[in-house]
């Protein structure tokens, strides 16, 4: 695999072909914030918080670094005024849905995002898809998926699969930036298979 | 429920995962909804996870995961139909069937939906029952049309 040289925030960075800008930056210890990215999962590009500025053939463009491939001589800037402004806006929009998410609040501090800028519509899930994709791609269980679309989109457990698989796994729980996932699981359990976890506890 | 029919539909598409939406559409038009057993069968035979099917079945309005009536009534609420009195037509249908848009009556006779422009504005107000278009509807005519459905 050929080596690619690019520049990130003024620093010369070496990367392998096929790497994303995010991977190249991280390998050099340059931080780019992410919400929907996970090393074990296929690139998704859903949240857009990882947006960066690049120069391609004399043009400045905004690209999504977790899916944008590195290229020879690419010039990347991860913290310009414009980038910061967009990240702030994304955070403010997400905070209207999940105002108490620690991940969002940490980022909000960095980018000066105002938690109360938009009217709250606490749906808690920010549609990062980490839970859905982790269950499908890594665990291959497909116990949780999305339903509906647009503003009504939400996650939904398949009770039959969740009853069998989730109690002993729960690997997706820490991935969720808002804890909504745990809540949805407990609700599913309470509604669809209320006895199973108490049985599991009493067996232990 | 009769799984043979579901199997027939799946076999017709050689059990290919790429035919998922087509298979679901045919089941939907056969039963007027996607019964859980049918969806599970499709999932097994097409090797598509239930969560994926559930996402698709809730994404497109053409699918329903709850039983629908034998007859689907669509009332156009588009601009042209609106100014020509679609609201009165809708009121009439609601009164006669006792259901609101998005609902199905207890006898599973009618399901009611509103739509935005059926593409034949000159005929407004327009209603569509089981895909058949009825134009220039007055409340009285609407009642007459609905009478024809059992
Ligand atoms: S429940 Fe959590 S992990 Fe799953 S999509 Fe929503 S925010 Fe992401
Ligand atoms: S981390 Fe890149 S779009 Fe979410
Ligand atoms: S507005 Fe009703 S058909 Fe166009």
Query: Do B45 and B98 belong together in one domain?
Result: no
Q: Which residue of B has its CA nearest to A151?
A: B59
- Classified as helix, coil or strand, A171 is coil
- Res. A151 pLDDT band, cuts 50 70 90: confident
What's the pLDDT score for residue A204? 47
Query: For residues B150 and B17, which has the higher predicted lDDT (pLDDT)?
Result: B17
Size of interface A-B (CB pairs under 8 A): 34
Residue A19 falls within a domain, yes or no? Answer: yes
Query: Do B94 and B135 belong together in one domain?
Result: yes
Edge to edge, what strands does the sheet with B110-115 contain?
A: B110-115, B71-76, B127-129, B132-134
- Choosing from A20, A31, A40, A46 the residue with most ligand 2 atoms within 8 A of its CB, the one to mutate for a pocket test is A46
Burial (CB count <10 Å: 0-12, 13-18, 19+), residue B69: buried
Question: Span A90-117, mean pLDDT?
Answer: 96
pLDDT digits (tens, 9 = 90+) for B123-134: 989 999 998 999
* CATH (domain of B92): 3.40.30.10
* Among A136, A147, A149, beta carbon nearest to B49: A136
pLDDT digits (tens, 9 = 90+) for A7-18: 999 999 999 999
Whether residue A165 has pLDDT greater than 80:
yes
Q: Which residue of B has its CA nearest to A144?
A: B51
Whether residue A1 has pLDDT greater than 80:
no
Closest CA to A77 of A53, A50, A101, A94: A53
Alpha helix (H) residue ranges in chain B:
3-12, 20-31, 36-46, 50-59, 79-83, 86-97, 139-147
Task: Provide, as residue numbers in chain A, all residues whose Cβ is less than 8 Å from the Cβ of B51.
Answer: 132, 135-136, 142-146, 156, 158, 161
Contact (Cβ atoms closer than 8 angstroms) between residue B86 and residue B124: yes
What's the pLDDT score for residue B95? 94
Query: Do B34 and B80 belong together in one domain?
Result: no
What's the pLDDT score for residue A38? 97
How many CA atoms does the CB half-sphere of A171 hold within 13 Å?
Answer: 15
Whether residue B108 has pLDDT greater than 60:
yes
What's the pLDDT score for residue A56? 86
Name the domain boundary from A63, A79, A95.
A79
Whether residue B1 has pLDDT greater than 90:
no
- Res. A202 pLDDT band, cuts 50 70 90: low
Residue A8 falls within a domain, yes or no? Answer: yes
- Res. A196 pLDDT band, cuts 50 70 90: low
Whether residue A199 has pLDDT greater than 70:
no
Question: Span B52-63, mean pLDDT?
Answer: 95
For chain A, the domain total comes to 2
Residue B136 falls within a domain, yes or no? Answer: yes
Closest atom of ligand 2 to A36 CA is 4
Contact (Cβ atoms closer than 8 angstroms) between residue B91 and residue B139: yes
Question: Span A85-105, mean pLDDT?
Answer: 96
Q: Can you tell me the distance from the alpha carbon of B67 to that of B108, in angstroms, rounded to the nearest whole number? A: 8
Contact (Cβ atoms closer than 8 angstroms) between residue A111 and residue A88: yes
A60 backbone φψ class: left, alpha, beta (φ>0; ψ -120 to 50): beta
- Res. A189 pLDDT band, cuts 50 70 90: very high
Task: Provide, as residue numbers in chain B, all residues whose Cβ is less than 8 Å from the Cβ of A164.
Answer: none
Q: DSSP code of A166?
A: G
Range of the domain at A192: 130-203
* CATH (domain of A49): 3.10.20.740
- Res. A87 pLDDT band, cuts 50 70 90: very high
Contact (Cβ atoms closer than 8 angstroms) between residue B77 and residue B115: yes
In chain A, beta strands by DSSP E: 3-8, 11-16, 51-56, 59-64, 75-77, 144-147, 154-157
pLDDT digits (tens, 9 = 90+) for B136-149: 999 999 999 999 99
What's the pLDDT score for residue A101? 95
Query: Do B50 and B111 belong together in one domain?
Result: no
- Residue A87 contacts by C-beta under 8 Å, 6 or more apart in sequence? A33, A49, A51, A107, A111, A113
- Choosing from A143, A155, A162, A175 the residue with most ligand 1 atoms within 8 A of its CB, the one to mutate for a pocket test is A155
Residue A14 falls within a domain, yes or no? Answer: yes
Indicate yes or no: CB of A142 within 8 angstroms of CB of B51. Answer: yes
- Name the average pLDDT for chain A: 93
- Classified as helix, coil or strand, B133 is strand
Contact (Cβ atoms closer than 8 angstroms) between residue A58 and residue A89: no
Please report the sign of the dihedral spanned by the C-alpha atoms of residue B20, residue B21, residue B22, residue B24. positive
Alpha carbon A36 to its chain centroid, in Å, reads: 1
What's the pLDDT score for residue A57? 83
Query: Do B139 and B76 belong together in one domain?
Result: yes
Range of the domain at B31: 3-59
Which numbered ligand comes closest to the C-alpha of A46?
A: 2
Q: Which residue of A has its CA nearest to B60?
A: A148
Indicate yes or no: CB of B52 within 8 angstroms of CB of A143. Answer: no
């Amino acid at each position: 695999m050929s080596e690619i040289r690019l520049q990130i925030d003024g620093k010369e960075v070496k990367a392998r072909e096929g790497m994303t800008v995010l991977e190249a930056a991280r390998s050099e210890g340059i931080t780019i914030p992410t919400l929907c990215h996970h090393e074990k999962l296929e690139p998704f590009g859903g949240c857009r918080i990882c947006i960066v500025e690049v120069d391609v053939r004399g043009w400045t463009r905004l690209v999504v670094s977790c899916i944008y491939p590195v290229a020879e001589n690419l010039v990347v800037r991860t913290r310009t005024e414009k980038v910061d402004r967009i990240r702030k806006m994304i955070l403010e929009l997400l905070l209207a849905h999940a105002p108490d998410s620690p991940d969002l609040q940490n980022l909000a501090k960095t980018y000066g995002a105002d938690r109360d800028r938009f009217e709250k519509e606490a749906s808690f899930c920010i549609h990062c898809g980490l839970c859905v994709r982790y269950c499908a791609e890594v665990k291959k269980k497909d116990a949780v998926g999305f339903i509906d679309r647009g503003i009504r989109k939400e996650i939904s457990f398949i009770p039959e699969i969740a009853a069998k698989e989730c109690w002993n796994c729960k690997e997706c729980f820490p991935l969720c930036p808002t804890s909504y996932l745990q809540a949805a699981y407990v609700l599913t359990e309470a509604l669809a298979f209320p006895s199973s976890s108490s049985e599991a506890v009493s067996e232990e | 429920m009769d799984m043979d029919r579901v199997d027939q539909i799946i076999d017709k598409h050689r059990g290919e995962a790429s035919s998922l939406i087509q298979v679901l559409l045919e089941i939907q038009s056969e039963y007027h909804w996607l019964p859980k057993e049918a969806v599970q069968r499709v999932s097994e035979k097409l090797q598509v996870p239930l969560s994926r099917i559930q996402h698709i079945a809730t994404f497109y309005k053409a699918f329903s995961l709850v039983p629908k009536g034998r007859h689907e009534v669509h009332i156009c609420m588009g601009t042209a139909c609106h100014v020509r009195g679609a609201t009165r037509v809708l009121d009439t249908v609601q009164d006669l069937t006792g259901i609101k848009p998005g609902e199905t009556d207890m006898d599973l006779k009618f399901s009611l939906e509103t739509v935005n422009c059926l593409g034949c504005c000159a005929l407004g107000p327009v209603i569509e029952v089981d895909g058949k278009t009825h134009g220039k509807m007055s409340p009285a005519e609407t009642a007459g049309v609905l009478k024809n459905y059992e």
